Structure 1
Amino acid sequence: MFIIKLDAIDSTNSYLRRTASVSIPKDYTVVWSEFQTQGRGQMGAHWQSEEGKNLTFSMFKRNTEFDIDDRFVISMLVSLGIFKSLKKFQLPRLAIKWPNDILSEELKICGILIENIIKNNQLVGSVIGIGLNVNQRFFHNLPSATSMHLLTGKLHEKEELLAEIVTSIKIQFENAKSKTIEEITEEYESLLFRLDKPSTFKIAGEKVFSGIIRGVTPSGRLKVWLEDQDIKTFDFKEITLLY
């Protein structure tokens, strides 16, 4: 693991993307910053993080085995790696909220932003951005957020967490070589938040409806069983889980 440690930067994902535009970084190159002025979440959202309190970093994963159509497998493996690493810190009721947020006690503790690098119609690597709420105590206008400190009452070492998470993700990618995509998907689905439970969703246009999460498609679309007993699939840009 090659680590680039920075005090502050616009975005660790942007830093690695700029680097990759010149030459492909080494596998598992990590860019870690104590503060990001333009930290990003899914769909362009701003990632709110108190300086020095949390773990915000990006990792470059070279791709040697997955096709463009299989890129959601990368998201599943990263989610599984983070889930298993946090499990070691006795965080209660961990779950993966589709597509790749990590929850504890139904509150968001970790966000993931994956940006794939495609050249000549081939997936050559992925920039994996991870924001983990570690020692932050207050979240302005974010009632659904929490941190490891709030959940455990302890202060946690960020370097220890970084090493644990990267190692766990590496293990997932290594193990994936001897697994089928179906096996990876089955494990991912078993950890999904609200799986097989009646839930409320919102789609574009503010329409609200009820359904039950049944899993994901190979491309990462969410499978929802509707009241008319049909199963419909949704992209993460199309639907929001309201609980």
Structure 2
Amino acid sequence: MNKIQPKTLFTGKNAIYLPTCHSTNETAGEIIQKGEIMEGTIVITDNQTRGKGQRGNTWHSEKGQNLTFTLILKPDFIPVNEQFRLNMAVSLAVYQTLTEFLDEKLKIKWPNDILYGDQKLGGILIESLISNRIINYSFIGIGLNINQGNFELPNATSLSNLTENGLYDREELLTSLLENLEKQYLSIKQGKDVFLKDNYTENLFRRDVWSEYKTEDGVFEGKIRGVSESGKLIMETKFGLKQFGTKEFEYIY
């Protein structure tokens, strides 16, 4: 997995392969603490023993079957109050990579899970080092279920399970994903991301569909409409439009 050759300017040109590690995001952070490192470096492992997900959840992945890696970027050109643009760009890159194999049931679950129908195919966790309102480094942690056959969680699935086309070449998929990631990233850097939010919103899970959600006040019906500039989810309710942060509501299936 450390011999990939993506057709990129810098993304994935330097790969740090670890047979086993607790968390590629944590490892990437430790590497940065030791000094400067080339932007676009990826930390990748075949066995992540303590992977992290949204809301402090654990990301479970079977050894040698999936893609678990962290991409190190230096998005100091993105204002701190607009950092959700990076989230959208990464989510779209993953989505675009998988559309080669899957149909329109593939969706992005806000803020950055990848679903097929109601089943989870992958997740993204972005952690950043910020000082003086400048994003010095971002660690783009990505976990994608590729060849795993069985899961502890009932709503989890893999690309292999969904397509029944046998096992996939993980290096080929990683190469394609890194190329898409760089295209999306450079579109922001070059100011060519005018349709970024529209493209992200268009592919959101449950967009324009009345569904049930849960808050600490109880269950309510809502219809996802889009995202705000700061990345909050905009939802239509019977009381009008409301905005939600990541820990302010739960999806009900």
TM range (shorter): over 0.9
Aligned to 1:34: 46
Q: Distance in 1 between matches of 2:201 and 2:35?
A: 35
Q: 2:149 aligns with which of 137, 141, 144?
A: 137
Aligned to 1:47: 59
CA contact (8 A) 1:56 1:130 kept: yes
Q: Does 1:232 align with 2:242?
A: yes
Q: Distance in 1 between matches of 2:157 and 2:104?
A: 12
CA contact (8 A) 2:225 2:236 kept: yes
Q: Relative to structure 1, is the Cα distance of residues 220 and 121 closer, same or farther in structure 2, using a 3 angstrom cutoff?
A: same
Q: Give 1:28 shift.
A: 1.1
Aligned to 2:213: 201
Q: Distance in 2 between matches of 1:22 and 1:28?
A: 17
1:160-216 deviations in whole A, cap 9, x for unaligned?
A: 1111111101011122323355x21111101101101001111135x1111111101
Q: Relative to structure 1, is the Cα distance of residues 57 and 137 closer, same or farther in structure 2, using a 3 angstrom cutoff?
A: same
Q: Distance in 1 between matches of 2:103 and 2:62?
A: 21
Aligned to 1:219: 230
Q: Distance in 2 between matches of 1:91 and 1:50?
A: 25
Q: How many residues align?
A: 239
1:34-75 deviations in whole A, cap 9, x for unaligned?
A: 111111111211111111111111110111420111110000
Q: Distance in 1 between matches of 2:214 and 2:34?
A: 41
Q: Distance in 1 between matches of 2:34 and 2:134?
A: 17
Q: Distance in 2 between matches of 1:196 and 1:71?
A: 25
Aligned to 2:35: 23
CA contact (8 A) 1:92 1:105 kept: no
Q: Does 1:242 align with 2:249?
A: no
Question: How well do the aligned residues superpose, as a CA RMSD in angstroms?
Answer: 1.4
Aligned to 2:91: 79
SS at structure 2 position matched to 1:111: strand
Q: Aligned partner of 2:68: which letter?
A: T
Aligned to 1:170: 182
SS at structure 2 position matched to 1:139: coil
Q: 2:161 aligns with which of 150, 163, 166?
A: 150
Q: Aligned partner of 2:70: which letter?
A: S
Q: Distance in 1 between matches of 2:108 and 2:59?
A: 18
Q: Give 1:19 shift.
A: 1.4
Q: 1:6 aligns with which of 11, 18, 32?
A: 18
Q: Distance in 1 between matches of 2:36 and 2:201?
A: 32
CA contact (8 A) 1:91 1:151 kept: no
TM-score normalized with structure 2 length: 0.90
Q: Give 1:95 shift.
A: 0.7
| Stretch moving more, 7-16 or 20-29 | 20-29
* Structure 1 gap ranges (5+): none
* Structure 2 gap ranges (5+): 1-12
Aligned to 2:192: 179
CA contact (8 A) 1:26 1:62 kept: no
Aligned counterparts, 1:53-72, within 5 A? 53-72=65-84
Q: Give 1:91 shift.
A: 5.1
Percent identity, aligned pairs only?
A: 38
CA contact (8 A) 1:91 1:148 kept: no
SS at structure 2 position matched to 1:208: strand
Q: Aligned partner of 2:192: which letter?
A: K
